[in-house]
Structure 1
Amino acid sequence: MLDQSGLVRFAERHLMPDKVQVSRGSGEDVLDPGTGDLVPAPPAVVYEDKAGLYAHQERIRSRGSGQDGAYVQEVRAGYRLLLPLEAPEVWENDTVLIVEARDEQAVGRTYRVSALGEVSSFPVLRTVWLEEHNRKPVAK
């Protein structure tokens, strides 16, 4: 059987140059002692370490709304997040914050996890699909 440990080390070293923070909201409210109001509980950080962020375009064909039923092609921007195997499972609707990145324009952007991570019979890394959530302008 093929030993995958060398592939894992290669993937982590060369495909995961960035640092991310993955957080998850509980959906529960907590009491704010200062105001006495119920406010959403702060999200819990479930992972904070190395990752790789890669753009991915998805082409979608759907029927148009006209009578002719012609297909309309749409291109949606999406992103793949590569994580090491030891990272905890990432859930749909978790939030990913780019903390450090080779591409400095990525730092501070947040993404929403749009699908559960992929699994494989020969796991080398984790692949999670993202949608861009928020782009914070970089102060100059």
Structure 2
Amino acid sequence: MLDQLGIERFAEKHLMPDRVEITRDGGEQVLDPETGRLEPAPRRDVYEGPAGFYPRQERIRSRSGRTGAWVDEVRPAYRLLLPLRAGEVWESDSVLVTQARDEQAVGRTYSVAALGEVSSLPIVRTVWLEEHNRAVAS
């Protein structure tokens, strides 16, 4: 018999060496009673904990300009692995890398490109990301 919990623990220990914070825009604006102005709702914390980043390149073929010539474009994308307890991550949520084996990843932010994948045999949460910034640490 397959020990699903054991596989989950193995995946978290060996495939998720980094740490992330995932936040979500607060949604509709809220009234600030002191100023009487509508302000953006505060961001909501969605998840904080272990994760694993895995790069992937997307090849896109599209027409460009007036000539309509086909252009091949390669875009970097990332697959984010999260433990099942992370819960649901929504499209457009923000991901901040707070700790990573690769020091250059710390401080980078990503945007969730699509709802997380689901499976009949869930072991990890898989979420697709687009790079949001590439700010260089000083």
- Please give the TM-score of this superposition, normalised by the length of structure 1: 0.87
Name 1:25's counterpart in structure 2: 25
Note the residue ranges of structure 1 that are not aligned, 5 or more in a row: none
Q: How much does 1:57 deviate? A: 0.5
Deviations 1:78-101 (A, max 9, x none): 111100011110000000011111
Aligned length: 138
- How far apart, CA to CA, are the structure 2 residues paired with 1:134 and 1:72? 25
Q: How much does 1:66 deviate? A: 5.9
Q: How much does 1:30 deviate? A: 2.7
Deviations 1:27-86 (A, max 9, x none): 22234466543221120001001101111101122345566x653221111111100011
Name 1:123's counterpart in structure 2: 122
Please tell me the root mean square deviation across aligned C-alpha atoms, in Å.
1.9
- How far apart, CA to CA, are the structure 1 residues paired with 2:64 and 2:45? 42
Deviation larger for 5-14 or 35-44: 35-44
- How far apart, CA to CA, are the structure 2 residues paired with 1:107 and 1:32? 34
- Decide whether aligned partners of structure 1 residues 33 and 107 sit closer, same or farther in structure 2, where only a CA change above 3 A counts: farther
2:31 is equivalent to residue 41 of structure 1: no
Q: Which amino acid aligns with 2:80?
A: L
Note the residue ranges of structure 2 that are not aligned, 5 or more in a row: none
- Please give the TM-score of this superposition, normalised by the length of structure 2: 0.88
